[in-house]
Amino acid sequence: QQQVKQSPQSLIVQKGGISIINCAYENTAFDYFPWYQQFPGKGPALLIAIRPDVSEKKEGRFTISFNKSAKQFSLHIMDSQPGDSATYFCAASIYGSGAGSYQLTFGKGTKLSVIP
Amino acid sequence: NAGVTQTPKFRVLKTGQSMTLLCAQDMNHEYMYWYRQDPGMGLRLIHYSVGEGTTAKGEVPDGYNVSRLKKQNFLLGLESAAPSQTSVYFCASKAPPGLAYNEQFFGPGTRLTVL
Protein backbone atom coordinates (compact mmCIF):
# COMPACT_ATOMS: atom_id res chain seq x y z
CA GLN A 1 0.00 0.00 0.00
CA GLN A 2 1.54 3.23 -1.16
CA GLN A 3 0.74 5.95 1.31
CA VAL A 4 2.23 8.84 -0.65
CA LYS A 5 1.45 9.11 -4.35
CA GLN A 6 3.60 11.46 -6.44
CA SER A 7 3.06 12.76 -9.95
CA PRO A 8 4.25 13.22 -12.60
CA GLN A 9 7.02 10.63 -12.87
CA SER A 10 9.00 12.94 -15.14
CA LEU A 11 8.74 16.59 -16.09
CA ILE A 12 10.39 18.72 -18.75
CA VAL A 13 10.24 22.49 -18.30
CA GLN A 14 11.73 25.36 -20.25
CA LYS A 15 14.18 27.63 -18.47
CA GLY A 16 12.26 30.37 -16.70
CA GLY A 17 9.07 28.31 -16.51
CA ILE A 18 7.20 26.97 -13.48
CA SER A 19 7.70 23.37 -12.40
CA ILE A 20 4.86 21.78 -10.44
CA ILE A 21 5.02 18.41 -8.71
CA ASN A 22 2.06 16.99 -6.85
CA CYS A 23 1.70 14.54 -3.99
CA ALA A 24 -1.29 12.98 -2.25
CA TYR A 25 -1.28 11.14 1.03
CA GLU A 26 -3.67 8.74 2.74
CA ASN A 27 -2.72 8.69 6.41
CA THR A 28 -4.46 11.58 8.17
CA ALA A 29 -2.00 11.27 11.06
CA PHE A 30 0.80 12.66 8.88
CA ASP A 31 1.69 16.18 9.93
CA TYR A 32 5.12 16.82 8.45
CA PHE A 33 5.67 17.06 4.71
CA PRO A 34 9.21 17.56 3.38
CA TRP A 35 10.52 17.67 -0.14
CA TYR A 36 13.91 16.20 -0.91
CA GLN A 37 16.10 17.02 -3.92
CA GLN A 38 18.53 14.49 -5.35
CA PHE A 39 21.19 15.14 -7.97
CA PRO A 40 22.64 12.22 -9.95
CA GLY A 41 25.15 10.23 -7.94
CA LYS A 42 24.29 12.01 -4.70
CA GLY A 43 22.11 11.33 -1.70
CA PRO A 44 18.80 13.17 -1.25
CA ALA A 45 18.91 16.47 0.60
CA LEU A 46 16.11 18.36 2.30
CA LEU A 47 14.84 21.19 0.13
CA ILE A 48 11.83 22.57 1.99
CA ALA A 49 9.24 21.26 4.43
CA ILE A 50 5.82 22.25 5.72
CA ARG A 51 3.54 21.43 8.61
CA PRO A 52 -0.25 21.60 8.13
CA ASP A 53 -0.79 24.67 10.31
CA VAL A 54 0.01 26.76 7.23
CA SER A 55 -1.27 26.40 3.67
CA GLU A 56 1.86 27.66 1.96
CA LYS A 57 5.57 28.00 2.62
CA LYS A 58 8.02 29.81 0.40
CA GLU A 59 11.79 29.70 0.36
CA GLY A 60 13.33 31.60 -2.52
CA ARG A 61 12.03 30.11 -5.78
CA PHE A 62 10.58 27.05 -4.05
CA THR A 63 7.04 26.99 -2.63
CA ILE A 64 5.05 24.24 -0.96
CA SER A 65 1.27 24.49 -1.22
CA PHE A 66 -0.72 22.36 1.21
CA ASN A 67 -4.40 21.37 1.09
CA LYS A 68 -5.31 19.51 4.25
CA SER A 69 -8.91 18.73 3.29
CA ALA A 70 -7.83 17.19 -0.02
CA LYS A 71 -4.80 15.50 1.57
CA GLN A 72 -2.59 16.93 -1.12
CA PHE A 73 0.55 19.03 -1.27
CA SER A 74 2.64 20.30 -4.11
CA LEU A 75 6.04 21.79 -4.90
CA HIS A 76 6.26 24.81 -7.18
CA ILE A 77 9.60 25.88 -8.61
CA MET A 78 9.39 29.38 -10.02
CA ASP A 79 11.78 30.63 -12.72
CA SER A 80 13.10 27.08 -13.19
CA GLN A 81 16.82 26.87 -14.02
CA PRO A 82 18.93 24.11 -15.61
CA GLY A 83 20.62 23.72 -12.23
CA ASP A 84 17.27 22.63 -10.80
CA SER A 85 17.40 19.49 -12.95
CA ALA A 86 17.24 16.70 -10.39
CA THR A 87 14.90 14.10 -8.94
CA TYR A 88 12.43 15.42 -6.37
CA PHE A 89 10.82 13.29 -3.69
CA CYS A 90 7.90 14.25 -1.52
CA ALA A 91 7.57 12.57 1.85
CA ALA A 92 5.36 12.49 4.91
CA SER A 93 5.69 11.55 8.55
CA ILE A 94 4.36 12.23 11.99
CA TYR A 95 6.24 15.17 13.48
CA GLY A 96 6.17 14.51 17.21
CA SER A 97 7.38 11.61 19.28
CA GLY A 98 6.04 8.09 19.36
CA ALA A 99 5.36 5.43 16.79
CA GLY A 100 5.38 6.73 13.24
CA SER A 101 7.50 9.76 14.02
CA TYR A 102 10.72 7.98 13.26
CA GLN A 103 9.98 7.18 9.65
CA LEU A 104 9.50 9.11 6.45
CA THR A 105 7.21 7.66 3.79
CA PHE A 106 8.49 8.74 0.39
CA GLY A 107 6.76 9.22 -2.94
CA LYS A 108 8.34 7.49 -5.93
CA GLY A 109 10.04 10.62 -7.22
CA THR A 110 9.83 13.03 -10.15
CA LYS A 111 12.70 13.52 -12.53
CA LEU A 112 12.79 17.18 -13.51
CA SER A 113 14.69 18.34 -16.58
CA VAL A 114 14.96 22.07 -17.19
CA ILE A 115 16.01 22.79 -20.75
CA PRO A 116 17.71 26.04 -21.79
CA ASN B 1 31.96 17.67 10.04
CA ALA B 2 31.78 14.87 7.49
CA GLY B 3 28.03 14.35 8.08
CA VAL B 4 26.95 10.87 6.96
CA THR B 5 29.54 8.69 5.25
CA GLN B 6 29.09 5.29 3.63
CA THR B 7 31.62 2.57 2.85
CA PRO B 8 32.13 1.25 0.19
CA LYS B 9 30.91 3.48 -2.66
CA PHE B 10 30.66 0.63 -5.16
CA ARG B 11 30.64 -3.13 -4.88
CA VAL B 12 30.04 -6.09 -7.17
CA LEU B 13 29.06 -9.40 -5.59
CA LYS B 14 28.30 -12.84 -6.90
CA THR B 15 25.05 -14.52 -5.93
CA GLY B 16 25.40 -16.11 -2.52
CA GLN B 17 28.26 -13.95 -1.31
CA SER B 18 27.95 -11.87 1.84
CA MET B 19 28.97 -8.33 2.62
CA THR B 20 28.52 -5.52 5.12
CA LEU B 21 27.82 -1.89 4.32
CA LEU B 22 29.03 0.63 6.88
CA CYS B 23 27.34 3.92 7.69
CA ALA B 24 28.92 6.45 10.02
CA GLN B 25 27.63 9.82 11.24
CA ASP B 26 29.37 12.49 13.28
CA MET B 27 26.30 14.56 14.21
CA ASN B 28 25.51 12.62 17.39
CA HIS B 29 22.13 11.64 15.95
CA GLU B 30 20.03 9.06 17.74
CA TYR B 31 18.14 7.79 14.70
CA MET B 32 19.70 6.03 11.74
CA TYR B 33 18.16 4.45 8.65
CA TRP B 34 18.98 2.20 5.72
CA TYR B 35 17.09 2.68 2.44
CA ARG B 36 17.32 1.13 -0.96
CA GLN B 37 16.60 3.09 -4.12
CA ASP B 38 15.48 1.38 -7.29
CA PRO B 39 14.37 3.02 -10.56
CA GLY B 40 10.73 4.09 -10.36
CA MET B 41 10.39 2.84 -6.79
CA GLY B 42 11.62 5.80 -4.81
CA LEU B 43 13.27 5.24 -1.44
CA ARG B 44 12.18 2.22 0.54
CA LEU B 45 13.10 1.75 4.18
CA ILE B 46 14.96 -1.48 4.96
CA HIS B 47 15.75 -1.17 8.68
CA TYR B 48 16.13 1.64 11.14
CA SER B 49 17.46 2.29 14.63
CA VAL B 50 16.25 4.74 17.27
CA GLY B 51 19.30 4.35 19.46
CA GLU B 52 22.44 2.39 20.21
CA GLY B 53 21.67 -1.31 20.56
CA THR B 54 18.16 -1.04 19.04
CA THR B 55 16.98 -1.89 15.53
CA ALA B 56 13.60 -2.29 13.83
CA LYS B 57 12.29 -3.53 10.49
CA GLY B 58 11.18 -1.18 7.78
CA GLU B 59 9.18 -1.79 4.64
CA VAL B 60 11.54 -4.22 2.88
CA PRO B 61 13.69 -6.00 5.53
CA ASP B 62 13.89 -9.51 4.03
CA GLY B 63 17.41 -10.63 3.16
CA TYR B 64 19.08 -7.94 5.28
CA ASN B 65 20.33 -7.70 8.84
CA VAL B 66 21.54 -4.66 10.76
CA SER B 67 23.47 -3.81 13.88
CA ARG B 68 23.94 -0.60 15.90
CA LEU B 69 26.68 -1.41 18.40
CA LYS B 70 27.91 2.18 18.51
CA LYS B 71 25.78 5.31 18.30
CA GLN B 72 27.69 6.68 15.36
CA ASN B 73 27.67 3.51 13.24
CA PHE B 74 24.88 1.54 11.57
CA LEU B 75 25.82 -1.61 9.65
CA LEU B 76 23.75 -3.30 6.95
CA GLY B 77 24.52 -6.93 6.19
CA LEU B 78 23.62 -9.16 3.30
CA GLU B 79 24.16 -12.78 4.31
CA SER B 80 23.54 -14.38 0.92
CA ALA B 81 23.28 -11.80 -1.83
CA ALA B 82 20.68 -12.21 -4.58
CA PRO B 83 20.36 -10.36 -7.92
CA SER B 84 17.16 -8.75 -6.55
CA GLN B 85 19.36 -6.90 -4.07
CA THR B 86 21.09 -5.00 -6.85
CA SER B 87 20.32 -1.41 -5.88
CA VAL B 88 21.68 1.84 -4.55
CA TYR B 89 21.73 1.85 -0.76
CA PHE B 90 21.44 5.04 1.26
CA CYS B 91 22.03 5.59 4.92
CA ALA B 92 20.46 8.50 6.78
CA SER B 93 20.48 9.91 10.29
CA LYS B 94 18.20 12.21 12.24
CA ALA B 95 18.03 13.99 15.55
CA PRO B 96 15.35 12.67 17.95
CA PRO B 97 11.84 14.17 18.13
CA GLY B 98 11.39 17.28 20.15
CA LEU B 99 13.99 19.30 18.34
CA ALA B 100 12.94 21.97 15.92
CA TYR B 101 14.08 20.23 12.80
CA ASN B 102 12.90 16.85 11.60
CA GLU B 103 15.40 16.52 8.78
CA GLN B 104 16.98 13.25 7.76
CA PHE B 105 20.55 13.66 6.52
CA PHE B 106 21.57 11.23 3.81
CA GLY B 107 24.92 9.72 2.91
CA PRO B 108 26.27 9.58 -0.67
CA GLY B 109 25.08 6.04 -1.32
CA THR B 110 26.57 2.62 -2.11
CA ARG B 111 25.94 1.16 -5.55
CA LEU B 112 25.71 -2.62 -5.23
CA THR B 113 25.51 -5.04 -8.13
CA VAL B 114 24.80 -8.72 -7.55
CA LEU B 115 25.63 -10.96 -10.49
Average pLDDT on B6-13 reads 97
Q: What is the pLDDT of residues B60-114, one digit of tens each?
A: 999 999 999 999 999 999 999 999 999 999 999 998 766 555 789 999 999 999 9
Cβ contacts of A43 on chain B, cutoff 8 Å: 4, 90, 92, 106-109
Do A102 and B108 make contact, defined as CB atoms within 8 angstroms? Answer: no
Q: What is the pLDDT of residues B40-62, one digit of tens each?
A: 888 999 999 988 999 999 989 99
* Per-residue confidence (pLDDT) for residue B97, from 0 to 100: 65
Inform me whether the pLDDT recorded for A95 exceeds 70: no
Domain boundaries, position A60: 4-97+106-115
* Per-residue confidence (pLDDT) for residue A2, from 0 to 100: 61
- In terms of Cβ atoms closer than 10 Å to its own Cβ (0-12, 13-18, 19+), residue B2 is exposed
The answer to whether the CB of B112 falls within 8 A of the CB of B48 is: no
Cβ contacts of B48 on chain A, cutoff 8 Å: 102-103
Quick check: is B111 in a domain? no
Where is average pLDDT lowest: A88-102, B6-20, B23-37, B51-65?
Answer: A88-102
Number of domains observed in the structure of chain B? 1
* Per-residue confidence (pLDDT) for residue A96, from 0 to 100: 62
Quick check: is B62 in a domain? yes
Quick check: is B112 in a domain? no
Give A29 to chain B, closest Cα distance, Å: 16
Inform me whether the pLDDT recorded for A100 exceeds 60: no
Of residues A52 and B96, more confidently modeled: A52
Do A49 and B58 make contact, defined as CB atoms within 8 angstroms? Answer: no
Which among A48, A72, A44 is positioned nearest to A60, based on CA atoms?
A48
Domain boundaries, position B15: 4-101
Average pLDDT on A68-75 reads 96
Inform me whether the pLDDT recorded for B1 exceeds 90: no
Number of domains observed in the structure of chain A? 1
* Per-residue confidence (pLDDT) for residue A94, from 0 to 100: 77
CATH number assigned to the domain comprising residue B32: 2.60.40.10
Average pLDDT on A76-85 reads 98
Quick check: is B35 in a domain? yes
What is the rounded distance in angstroms from the CA atom of residue A38 to the CA atom of residue A18?
Answer: 19
**Mean pLDDT of all residues belonging to chain A:** 92
Half-sphere exposure of A99 (CA within 13 A, CB side): 3
Q: How confident is the model at residue A53 (pLDDT cuts 50, 70, 90)?
A: confident
What is the rounded distance in angstroms from the CA atom of residue B17 to the CA atom of residue A34?
Answer: 37
Of residues A100 and B93, more confidently modeled: B93
Average pLDDT on A39-50 reads 94
Those residues of chain B whose CB sits closer than 8 Å to some CB in chain A are 4, 31, 33, 40-45, 48, 50, 58, 90, 92, 94, 96-98, 102-104, 106-109
